[in-house]
Structure 1
Amino acid sequence: MNKDKKPLYRKENKVSLSTKYYVVTGGSFRHTRNTKEFQNNEATRMSMNSGQYGYDYTPLFKFLLSRVGQMWDDIYSEAKSRLDKDEPIFWMVALHEQDRKDIVRLDQSSYYSGLYVDDDGLLQMVNPHLAEEDLYERLAPYPGETLSFNGERVK
């Protein structure tokens, strides 16, 4: 990874994002802490920080959108040098025609324009005329659900 430039991802604290990581179910801890089952449980021997972080690739997706119309080889080499792995690039960019999508869902309620590499080696949008209204027509979100499209909140 290139240390001179900022990485195209952020660490996310999973604990603060969802209640499922810290909700205690069942009886009180005081009833189980000295039992053999608790002492032999593998989870009690794990580090307290293990598995609490994920990655947010929003900076990568915005980077890719800002480079539409430029040479793919240059974009790919720069993005790859600023990532820990190159897989997230292809969540949004289709290299083959059959993989192209107008809208790509990349998180629970985050949607982005699909991208592809054309015959001239340029990064292009699959549907450059896509608007926020199209998102509501196609996805029919739940009332009150907050959606984002290309990194911007949909009104």
Structure 2
Amino acid sequence: MQTIPNQSWQLIIKLAAHKNRKTKRCGYAFEAIKLDGDILFIGGGNSGRKTQYLAVQEALVEAVLKTKDLGFWTIVIMSKYKRLAQICDHTSKPSWQEQALTSDLYQLQQLGLITHVLFVPKLVVLHVSELAIRVANYPGQFCYMY
């Protein structure tokens, strides 16, 4: 059981990624939801990363930058990758591939961004996972604001 620190959270971000076996490319998707349940934006992209885990790191940085630009500073992030939660919450030492992610998040935290990454069951991020599967099959990036 994970506990969420006592903060006045403004936004929930769900992250997912999928690898296309034919093209060997990964698609990632993210969804930002306000605490009242309204969807703020949905985005995704097709990445040349080798693994889904590296693609979801790319999605994390892109989603956090978009939310920061919109003026949100306290964010809860949900992902089905346990390692991502361990790295972002500083409970595990990052590998050389994860150091770029941790340095990006550290710089954003210096500006006042507060994030908490949660490891959640696949069912919680199922809608975003289905979107990542579709994105993995088509090139390009997108972001829809609501």
Same fold by TM-score greater than 0.5: no
Higher relative contact order (CA 8 A, sep 6+): 2
Task: Tell which structure's C-alpha radius of gyration is larger.
Answer: 1
Q: Using structure 2 for the length normalisation, give the TM-score.
A: 0.29
Higher strand share: 2
